[in-house]
Amino acid sequence: MRRRKQSGLTLVELIVAFTIMLILTSMAVPLARAKVRAQRERALRYALDDMRLAIDKYKDYCDMGVFGPVKQGTNCWPETLESLVEGVKIGSSADDKKIKLLRRIPRDPFTNSNEWGMRSDQDDPTANSWGGQNVFDVYSKTDQKAPDGTAYSEW
């Protein structure tokens, strides 16, 4: 009589409940990791697209002569990524007007830093070291690979 009046769970009910919760959480963790990876991949694509667009705009302006005489060895490519943020002086402007092509250097979502790998137009296209002459291309410094097997540094 006394047991029927007591409320609570039996040991078997607790084990079944914990087992179900364990199964559900073990299925949710891989899904959460995949979602985080997809968000990082999207952020990486946006960051690379923004920087490459700014580099190409710099090249177009330089080819049109907007910045004045071309600095030797740069081939009309920016010298650094920072120069795109700080702004480049317009050659014919008497009041030191500048064209800023980037608001800031984006963070690499995989390395969580503002450091990007750079290549000049004189470097080998697959090189992982920068010659320092100019900035022709940027890439992520992470050694991680995408689910399809390509390295993020090749994007």
Confidence band, pLDDT 50/70/90 cuts, at residue 4: low
Three-state SS letters, the chain: CHHHHCCCCCHHHHHHHHHHHHHHHHHHHHHHHHHHHHHHHHHHHHHHHHHHHHHHHHHHHHHCCCCCCCCCCCCCCCCCHHHHHHCEECCCCCCCCEECCCCCCCCECCCCECCCEEECCCCCCCCCCCCCCCCCEEECCCCCECCCCCEHHHC
pLDDT in tens, 127-143: 777 877 889 999 999 99
pTM to 2 decimal places: 0.77
